[in-house]
Amino acid sequence: MPAYCGRCGEPVDGSSAEGPHEDCARLLQLEPPRYCASCARRMKVQVSPMGWSATCVEHGTVGARARDQGSTTAP
């Protein structure tokens, strides 16, 4: 469970399924996060035709390939 919203960098209340970040979550399906979910630092985002990657200086890189979106399990 991420501690911070990747879209706006605000803390996420994990106890509620719905919240102010519902729209953020939807947008994060379409575009990379701007903030680290673990520490809310601004991340360095790189977008490529294959997807995107976002790098936190503290927590490393997270990324997604376009074809992977919508799937949470690896083959």
Residue where the block lists tokens 């106890």: 15
**Contact, 64 vs 29, CB < 8 A?**
no
Regarding 28 and contact with Zn ion (CB under 5 A), the answer is: no
Regarding 38 and contact with Zn ion (CB under 5 A), the answer is: yes
Its sign, for the CA torsion 6, 17, 19, 27, is positive
Which residue in 27, 39, 45, 62 binds Zn ion (CB under 5 A)?
39
Which residue in 4, 5, 32, 64 binds Zn ion (CB under 5 A)?
5
Total site size for Zn ion, rule CB under 5 A: 12
CA distance from start to end of the chain: 22
Instruction: List interacting residues with Zn ion (CB under 5 A).
Output: 5, 7-8, 21, 24, 36, 38-39, 41, 56, 58-59
